[in-house]
Each structure stands twice: as structure tokens, then as C-alpha cells.
Structure 1
Amino acid sequence: MKVFNQLAVILGIWAIGEYISSLISGFIAIPGSIIGMLLLFIMLQTKVISIESVDSISSFFLDNMALFFVPAGVSLITSLDIIKSNIIVLIATIFITTVIVMWVTGIVVEVMMSRKEGKKNV
């Protein structure tokens, strides 16, 4: 029964996120699942809900995460002809975005390390 209560909490927060997403869809397009995750994060940080109230179901979801990628993989297979016709653009996009992510990650790590060293010296 504990798992069902935790699932109800997660689904409730997701539903609220979907509702908020539908309200703001005219202004900005943010998926309801993302809004729900932000709401869950804020609620956990502000101790509105405790980690124990979502611990078991979140562990279950994390342990079985590979199952959630099956529909995306099937969709890729059904779209193979579109992928083939745009392969150069896709490879260039993947390469450029990978370089940008690595560059930004390096900058963030350097900033965080310098802040950590600055705190040690004080």
C-alpha cells in the first residue's frame, strides 16, 4: 500500500505540472513532466514532502529506467528513412552540441573548483 501512496504523490505532482503547462502554453512551451519535476524538486527542498514519501517508487523507476526508452527506440526505427535523409545534419548537430557541452562543463568545473579553493584559503 505504501508504494501506491507514493505513486499517487508522483502522479499528482505530474498532473499538476501538466495542468500548469496547459495554462502557460500560450506564453511558453514547457512540458508538464518538466514542470512536475521542478515542483517535486522544490517540494523536496522546502520539506513540503519528505524523501520517504517517494523513496520506494522512485527507486523502482530508477531501477527500471531502461524500459522507458523502448518507445523512443521503436520510434527511431520507424523514422529510419527520415534519419537517413538528414544524416549529415544529425552528425554535425551531435558533434557541435557535444563540443559545446564539454566546453561548458569544463568552465563550470573550473569555476566550482576555484570557489572551493577560495573557501579553503579563507
Structure 2
Amino acid sequence: MKRFDVKRMGRLISEIAVLLAIYFVGCQIAAWLQVPIPGGVMGMILLLLAFALGWVKPATLQLGAGVLMAEMLLFFIPALMSLLDHGALVRDEGWRILLVIGVSTLLVMIVTAFTVEAVCRWKLRHEG
């Protein structure tokens, strides 16, 4: 491997390790507080807080996050394969499942948009 490739690979591994550490801390906080919020969501809240307070710059985790986003389909393959085992359920209740998926996706998009807007306004207010 070239020196640049080794350096890039080291950065990638360290960024993914940081993201995994934030995820595990979020899981521990969710378990400790005994709240019905998944550890991944708690980790995202921690990451958002770290970005908002300036402890971590988003560019420092961009490479690792980009790789994880590019390979996101791999995380959904087990869920998709389980649909093959439950064909009757999908046939009978498929429209309800699609309705829930559609509504929840729309809600996630709306909440994300409002959150980004609020953080941007908060950041502009505190910067200048």
C-alpha cells in the first residue's frame, strides 16, 4: 500500500471507531436512563450536541460517515430477507405496512428539517 492509502485507511478506521463509540455511549445512556429511546437515537443526539457545541467539526467524521452511508444497504438485507419468510403477512397487511412506512418516513423528514433549521438558527444567533 502507498503511504497515502495507509494514512487514509487509518483515518477511516479512526472515524468509524469514533462513530461506533458515540453509538455505544448512546446505548449505555438509554439503558441507564431506562427511556424508550433506542441507543442509536441517543447517539445521534450526542453527536448533534457535539456538533452544536463545537466539540467536533462535521468534516472530521465525513470520511467514516460517508463509507457507512454508502454501505447502508448491507444493514437492511436481513430485514428484507425476513420478508420472504412472511409472505402471507405482507400479502394480507401490506397496505398497512406501506402506510406506516410512508407516514413514518414523512415524519422523520419533517422532524429532521425542523431540527436542522433550529440548529442553524441557533448557531447563527450564537456566532454573530
Q: Same fold (TM over 0.5)?
A: yes
User: Which residue of structure 1 aligns with residue 18 of structure 2?
Assistant: 9
Alpha-carbon spacing, 1:50–1:24, altered in 2? closer, same or farther (3 Å): same
2:87 is aligned with 1:80: yes
Query: After alignment, is 1-10 or 68-77 more displaced?
Result: 68-77
Which of 53, 56, 66 is the equivalent residue of 1:49? 56
Q: How many residues align?
A: 100
Structure 1 distance, partners of 2:101, 2:75, is 25
Q: What letter matches 1:31 in structure 2?
A: P
Query: After alignment, is 79-88 or 60-69 more displaced?
Result: 79-88
Alpha-carbon spacing, 1:87–1:9, altered in 2? closer, same or farther (3 Å): closer
Give secondary structure in 2 for the equivalent of 1:38.
helix
Structure 2 distance, partners of 1:43, 1:3, is 19
Query: After alignment, is 75-84 or 35-44 more displaced?
Result: 75-84
Query: After alignment, is 29-38 or 57-66 more displaced?
Result: 57-66
TM superposition score normalised by structure 2? 0.63
Which of 23, 29, 44 is the equivalent residue of 1:20? 29
Compute the RMSD of aligned alpha carbons: 2.9
Overall identity of the aligned pairs, in %:
21
